Structures are given as C-alpha cells and as structure tokens.
Amino acid sequence: MNDALKLGFGPLKAPAKGVLIVFCDDALKFGPATRKALGSAADLVARAPQVDAGFLHGDFPPDRQRAFAEQVVATLGMEEGSWRIDPTAHPFCTSFSNRDVRLTTRYREHDLESVWSTLHEAGHGLYAHGIADSLQRTPLANAPSLGLNESQSRTWENLVGRSLPFWKHWYGPLQETFPEQLGGVPLADATVQVSPRANTNCQWARLKGRASSLSATLK
C-alpha cells in the first residue's frame, strides 16, 4: 500500500488502482512461468486482427441506452418487479433474495459498451434469480464459486450477446433506438461487424472493465 500511495493514489484519489498496478508489477517477479504467461497473452492481443467497428462509436445518449437495456433485460426471464437496473461507474450485481436482484451498468455517451456490460450483469442476476426459494437464507443460496457465477455472466455477455441469432432479433430495436447512428447500417453489414467480430477486437488493460472481451478472458 505504501508503494501505491507513492504513485499518487491517496485516499481521495484511487487507492484501488494503485494497489492493482503494484500487484501487476509484482506478478512479474513471481517467476519465469508467470512472465511467460503474461507475455503470451499480451502477444496474442497485439497480433489479433482488428475489425472496423466505427459505427459502434458516436453519439449515443445514455437515456436511450438505458431504455434499450431495460427492454432487453425484461425479456431474459426474471419476474417483473424482481429486478432493477441503475447506472454506476463500474458495473456490478447484488441481490438480497432471489426476488430482489439489483443490477448496475455503465452508460458511456460515445459507444454502446453498455449493451454487453448490462448482459453481463444480467447473467449474474439470472443466477441469483434462479436460486430456489427453499434455499433462501441458507449458505446454499450463494454460488459455490466465483468461477461458476462468472460463467453465467459471460455466457450472456459473449455467447448470447455476441451471437447472430441475438442480433437478428435485437438489431431492429437498436436501430429504432438510435436511428441517426445505426439507421444506415443494414443488418447484413452489421452482422459482419457487430456479431460477433467487432466486439472481440483485442485491447489489453489491467482493469477487466476496460479490457476487450478476448483479453479479459485471457486474464
């Protein structure tokens, strides 16, 4: 922590970020295997082909993003009134029972990253929503591992949210939500870029929330 504070991440700045930087740098000291693994992942990211997904970047008003997010989540299987979604700096999901699921997501006015962050958190929410009533208020009402819970969120974010069938259904409503930005991009063109390749452009970042889908998985 002292090293983190020396980097300028004091209590009123970003202590967690400072600790993360120190942790990542210290990881390089763990041994040859760690250095090789980190180097291989970074190399894969550097060599990955890039896809022109410029139409996903522009002016996307957050209020319309939120309306679209709520429209999608409402169709994923959670009972009406059992969930809510609110904006935050870093998306997360928490629940107080299987019928009190609270999702958060991040709306950035210059891209549509919120679509996939919302689906990710909805995956966590669906896991919580699916826990049996008989298990509530017992230790069995939680995921047996973070890995299992994360597998559900990434299933919805990547296997569903970046799939062609998903966008055959949702691209029309997305165009209606953002006609100025997407009205001139037909599904035939968008499916080459939106589903699934444009959203798998590799971008390395220490924070998972800023990394691309592929590089986040490599972590």
Q: What is the pLDDT of residues 16-67, one digit of tens each?
A: 444 444 445 555 555 666 666 666 666 766 776 776 778 888 999 999 999 9
Q: How confident is the model at residue 23, as a pLDDT?
A: 47
**Predicted confidence band of residue 208 (pLDDT cuts 50, 70, 90):** low
Checking if the pLDDT of 11 tops 70, the result is: no
Q: How far is CA 36 from the centre of its chain?
A: 27
Domain borders along the chain are 2-47, 57-200
Contact 215, 45 (CB under 8 A): yes
User: What pLDDT was estimated at residue 40?
Assistant: 66
Is 121 an active-site residue? Answer: yes
Q: Report long-range pairs for 63-66 (Cβ below 8 Å, ≥24 apart).
A: 64/177, 64/178, 65/107, 65/112, 65/114, 65/115, 65/177, 66/107, 66/114
- CA separation for the pair 3, 57 (Å, rounded): 37
Q: What is the pLDDT at residue 188?
A: 75
Mean pLDDT of the region 87-96: 95
- Across the chain, mean pLDDT equals 79
For 139-143, 155-159, 164-168, 215-219, which range has the lowest pLDDT when averaged over its residues?
215-219
pLDDT for 187 = 83
pLDDT band at 214 (very low <50, low <70, confident <90, very high): low
Condensed to tens digits (0 to 9), the pLDDT of residues 171-183 reads 999 999 999 999 9
Q: What is the pLDDT of residues 64-79, one digit of tens each?
A: 999 999 999 999 999 9
Percent pLDDT > 70 in the chain is 63
- Rounded to 5 degrees, φ, ψ at 111 are -160, 180
Cβ atoms within 10 Å of 129's Cβ, excluding its own:
20
Give 124-139 pLDDT, tens digit per residue.
999 999 999 999 999 9
Q: Please report the pLDDT score of residue 186 as a whole number.
A: 86
Catalytic residue among 121, 157, 176, 180: 121
